[in-house]
Amino acid sequence: MDGNGRWAKRRGLPRTAGHTAGEETLATVVREAARRNVGWLTVFGFSTENWVRPPSEVRHILGLHRKLFGRIDELNANNVRVRWIGRPFDEPGSRTPAPIQKAIRDAIRDTSHNTGMVLTVAFDYGSRAEIARAARLAAVDAASSGGTISPTAIARHLYDPELPPVDVLVRTSGETRISNFLLWQARQARVFFTDAAWPDFGADELDAALALVS
């Protein structure tokens, strides 16, 4: 979801205003994707690298994520089930603050009965860290069982082994490169590039991305 800061700068607004607009765009995209019977929508909310941003910007983004996970009534109204991927809270290196941890757990619990689209939020997430951790755990298994470190063994130890392969990877704001996002899961994905900054991403862009696999 790139381009929040650039979107704000073009309008003479602080970067935080771009993040606020981006959070509202995400709510809109979730509704539109659910209406189109998308099965799984995974969004890169906050990366392991984002902690180096200015503290005031990080605090603002954290507040927006707490608000996002708190939209329980809206998520339930759209039959959306929440999941999360990122550095496990109880493992070394995790930096997710306790209030965000609680918001994530509450959202997962309070939407678990829904049967529609699965919204997975990647928070404190980095794909290389995910793969390295999975390979390390697969190596422990192999050492104890005499097996081998296979792709299947690594996949079993990803943050969410049930997350399906990515069909379409969306890059906004004119970015024409992939990010440190779902590198394992997106190995055969189509990639949709758009010049629209994330706050300007709407139904038309969503439909164009979905058309790549229709």
Q: Which residues are catalytic?
A: 2, 50
C-alpha distance from residue 209 to each of 31, 84, 103, 191 (Å) = 16, 23, 30, 8
Cβ-based neighbours of 41, under 8 Å, separated by 6 or more = 29, 30, 33, 117, 118, 119, 120
Distance (Å, rounded) from C-alpha 66 to C-alpha 60? Answer: 10
Output the six-digit token pair for 36: 């189109």
Pair 4, 199: CB distance under 8 Å: yes
C-alpha distance from residue 61 to each of 22, 65, 91, 98, 162 (Å) = 10, 6, 23, 15, 27
